[in-house]
Structure 1
Amino acid sequence: MPTAHEPSELPAALLADPEMIRACRTRDFATVFTLVRRRAGVYGSRIAALCGMTPSRVGEIMSGQRRLAHIDVIERVADGLRIPGAMLGLAHRPWEIPALASPAEPKPDSGSARASALTTTELDGVLHGATGANVSHSTVAALRSSIEDYWRRDDQHGGAALRPAVVGHLRYAQQLIDSGGGGLLRRSLTSLAAELARLAGWSYFDARQYSIARSYFSQALHLAEGIGDRQFIANVLSCMSLQATYEGDAREAATLAAAAQDTARDTEAPDLVMAMLHMREAFAHATLRDSHNCNRSISKAHQHFGHADPNAAPQWVRYFDETKLIVDTGIALAQLGEHRKAEPLIAEGLRRENHDQARGRAFHAFWLASTQLRNGSLDQSCATASVALDLATNVDSPRVVGHAREFHARLAVHAREAPVLALEAKMREAFG
């Protein structure tokens, strides 16, 4: 294993150096070992230990007296010195970019806790009973402020870490409703509970825990139906549509988006809501490679946006501004395969975006990198992906990590190129 003063892997600059690339491609290990010693400070005895060789053998290789030919020894060198497999004509090594594990779904209590201990739900109920169920305007205002803060934090840091807090607030709001509290404020309280349920579903969606997300989205639908809030019902359906797109069921995604439009149509000031819903439908049609319906949905999104009055729209949809319209149009076109049209739109959206929106910017930077790659700009694509990685390291969002790994998979055909090798080193640092 490396000592404290040795790098955990070779410097990215060395891996991307043309001399190192040529030496690896020709399996000239005399030059490889020499460069490792000079540029990374890993001396012959340490090379021997890392690669499972004797120091004398390493010395003979470095002096040109011996060559390595056996594949198992070459693999040991790749693994010991952390040289990406593609550089040596090998398959990707297991340590290079670890596979993304599916997040574990929470399991029921195994019964190992003390039988006398209160469950979280029971304890909440006891504390709630002790404090009473009085609901005032300040109660509603505090819940609304918390939700607004959660959405800001979701933009900045991702939704995965918000799950416990959001679910706790949802449980509290539901207890207030179930206890009969609220009186004239009951509708407002139910509306806030619906928003908390949607936010809980969104945070589990961002954590790629799709089955749990679906259950919270269903709860949000039930609450919104109880107060007849058609626009919010459409909002939840749009979240479910986006999740269906991620899960690979684009036909269901298109159906859900269309149902959301039918629900929101003819409501008060629906244009901004309809613009967002048509863009969700465009994503589904793009995934299906349905160019006609995708472009039709994009056109309708722009038409509704042109007539929208953001100040009259619900608070929860005001994030869908001109910048979001531009970048989402680019993403839909990229999904459709129209990369030349998509690239300038995504780039412009990324340029306009608020720097506090770290997760969105990370997503959009990976989308831009992908379109640049499809358009033949490998160097520019890797540079953009490097920016995306910088953003991703400050965000707790397994969805972002998933986008990073999907982009990395597209680089396989360029695995020996210097910018790819440097990017992979940065990915290992970020995710490994």
Structure 2
Amino acid sequence: MGTLAITPVRHNVTSRRSGDLMTSYEPPTALPRALLECEDMKAAIEAHDFGAVFALARSEAGISYSRIAAECDIKPERVGTLARGHGSVTTFEKITRIADALRIPGRMLGLAPREWETTTPARRVFPVPAQAAGTDGHGDNMQRREFFKTTAGAGLAVGLSNLTRPLVGRRVGGDFPQRLRERTARLRRLDDVLGGGDTYRVYLGEYQFTKALIRGATCTEETGRALLSVLAEQAQQAGWAAFDGGMHDDANGLYEESHKAAVDAGDAALAGNALAFLAYQKINGDHQAGIQTATQACQTAGPDASPGVRALLHERLAWAYAVAGLDSETARALDAAGTALAETSDEPEPDWAAWVDENELRIMTGRCWAELRRPLRAIPVLETALTEYDDAHARDKSLYLSWLAESYVTAGEVEQAAAVTGRALDLCAGVASVRPRKRLAPVLERLGEYRSVRAVADVLEKAGAGA
């Protein structure tokens, strides 16, 4: 094999929002270049000693602590305390906020390049309004989500720095794509407990790093294809977070980029999954387009795809049929997913499809029958599946409960529908995802017809308080 300078992957997802001003806005706390090149400052930044960074910013550049506090969203007394050498900053969210406010390049902190470092407009990070963290019996799960949100990114900088250190001279070894894929798999676990509003910046940064690496990397053709496959996988994860955060244009663009990268990599399974994501985007606006794209996804992955991948793609095809109101086609696609899942294989499933299991298929089956207004089929399967579903997966469980609640309304069991809806509202409180409340909105609207029932009135009041 000869060496290969990988052709740049064009990223044509451009922001259409007036809020994308980070590239042109220069904060008053931006550190002068000369100060950034000072050895004491470089040492403080590398050590993540932000107290020393703040002290040097004031003494050498005349930037007041109050101004730093305002730009970094830190209490002024906290800035002073840090500058005196007491305490530290460890959360990814706060570290990136400081980097942006002081204009510290991402490479100096072990981060991917920041949005303002690029010459093209950067995609807006979805601003999720903070919701009150309740303690109504679900405090442990909410605290767990908050813990993950504030600590999960803390190790990202060091991890990526260590991973990229061997890339001297931009020569990429054959083992590097697998190491990068393993890192991508680890970061995917954040999606188990956090919404897209919290994970989008992380996933997008990983995607941007790999894309930048590909532009200048020299490697064998085999390694180049493997890198493109990882890029496709990362684009799908970032696209999913964008979708979960309500940024559908961004999600669509990332899915399209993922499909192109997967095709260039010769990864049929990932190419099929990119199409399945696109179908999910299309189905609500154009049923026929959604079905066609979901069908194409199954055909693209083909019969040689792993059982889990085929099960996943047929599940999504079943959903497209269900949204379109096609009963028999939905049943056939669900049967195909079940048949695939029942197969055994010596090959491990790709991590991005490994979450598909029998319980996931039960949930999708229940969702489909709920969508088709068949409550007698939907309720038993959803009840069974959700008893085995951990509350830690709060976003997903609240979503699945919404279909159960909807089925109870359809069946005329409004008290039970109200109880399930209340449970879903509790679970999704504080989750940085637009989808649970959006899914619950039509359920609450239907329950509104029964507000004379005490249980219904209570849950409508709860929903209003959390709006």
Q: TM-score, normalised by structure 1?
A: 0.69
Quickly say closer, same or farther: Cα 1:402–1:121, change in 2 above 3 A.
closer
- 1:332-351 aligned within 5 A: 332-351=368-387
- 1:27-426 aligned within 5 A: 105=17, 107-109=19-21, 113-114=25-26, 120=114, 123=117, 133-136=170-173, 139-140=176-177, 143-183=180-220, 185-245=223-283, 247-267=284-304, 269-309=305-345, 311-426=347-462
* Aligned residues of 1:150 and 1:162 also touching (Cα < 8 A): no
Quickly say closer, same or farther: Cα 1:205–1:410, change in 2 above 3 A.
same
Quickly say closer, same or farther: Cα 1:355–1:309, change in 2 above 3 A.
farther
Cα offset for 1:201? Answer: 0.9
Q: Which runs of 4+ in 1 moved over 6 A?
A: 115-119, 127-131
Q: TM-score, normalised by structure 2?
A: 0.64
Amino acid aligned to 1:419: A
Amino acid aligned to 1:223: A
Cα offset for 1:361? Answer: 0.8
Structure 2: give runs of 5+ residues left out of the alignment: 1-15, 28-32, 34-102, 106-112, 120-160
* Aligned residues of 2:370 and 2:404 also touching (Cα < 8 A): no
CA distance in 1: counterparts of 2:217 and 2:117, whole angstroms: 19
Aligned Cα root-mean-square deviation (Å): 3.0
* Aligned residues of 1:182 and 1:189 also touching (Cα < 8 A): no
Q: How far does the alpha carbon of each residue in 1:365-403 deviate from its partner, in whole angstroms, 9 at most, with x for none?
A: 111111112112111111111111111014211011211
CA distance in 2: counterparts of 1:166 and 1:324, whole angstroms: 24
Q: How far does the alpha carbon of each residue in 1:287-331 deviate from its partner, in whole angstroms, 9 at most, with x for none?
A: 221112112212222222222438543221111100001110111
Q: How far does the alpha carbon of each residue in 1:165-190 deviate from its partner, in whole angstroms, 9 at most, with x for none?
A: 21111111011111024445333322
Quickly say closer, same or farther: Cα 1:132–1:162, change in 2 above 3 A.
farther
* Aligned residues of 1:272 and 1:310 also touching (Cα < 8 A): no
Amino acid aligned to 2:204: V
* Aligned residues of 2:269 and 2:301 also touching (Cα < 8 A): yes
Give the total of aligned pairs: 326
* Aligned residues of 2:22 and 2:116 also touching (Cα < 8 A): no
Amino acid aligned to 1:123: E
Cα offset for 1:152? Answer: 1.4
Larger Rg: 1
Q: How far does the alpha carbon of each residue in 1:323-357 deviate from its partner, in whole angstroms, 9 at most, with x for none?
A: 00111011111111111111011111111123332
CA distance in 2: counterparts of 1:357 and 1:316, whole angstroms: 17
Quickly say closer, same or farther: Cα 1:421–1:182, change in 2 above 3 A.
farther
Normalized per residue, the structure richer in helix is 1
Q: How far does the alpha carbon of each residue in 1:141-186 deviate from its partner, in whole angstroms, 9 at most, with x for none?
A: 5533432233211121122221112111111101111102444533
